[in-house]
């Protein structure tokens, strides 16, 4: 589970970087936030099942991705 969460957090991070481009903030609603939430859930499940560094890395990256995406949406008033 931790590996799945880590991979999802990397994919969400890629979409987050695309969402930082002006007028592509809507990408954060459609891809970044749902993938980031799934990444955090899967990473937390991976940590609870068995201790692993990859699960912790996925959890940290997922939380950072969610926070940056929400901050970007706040700057663009939720749209831009």
Reported as a single tens digit per residue, the pLDDT across 2-48 is 899 999 999 999 999 998 888 888 888 889 999 999 999 999 998 88
The domain ranges of the chain are 2-75
Residue pair 55/47 in contact (Cβ under 8 Å)? The answer is yes
Residue pair 57/46 in contact (Cβ under 8 Å)? The answer is no
pLDDT at 80 over 70: no
Cβ neighbours for 20, distance < 8 A, ≥ 6 positions apart: 72
pLDDT for 59: 92
Range 57-65 average pLDDT: 93
pLDDT for 51: 75
């Amino acid at each position: 589970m931790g590996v799945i969460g880590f991979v999802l957090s990397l994919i969400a991070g890629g979409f987050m970087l695309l969402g930082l481009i002006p007028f592509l903030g809507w990408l954060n609603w459609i891809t970044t936030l749902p993938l980031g939430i799934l990444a955090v859930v899967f990473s937390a499940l991976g940590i609870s099942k068995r201790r692993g560094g990859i699960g912790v890395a996925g959890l940290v990256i997922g939380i950072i991705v969610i926070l940056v995406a929400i901050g970007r949406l706040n700057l663009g008033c939720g749209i831009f």
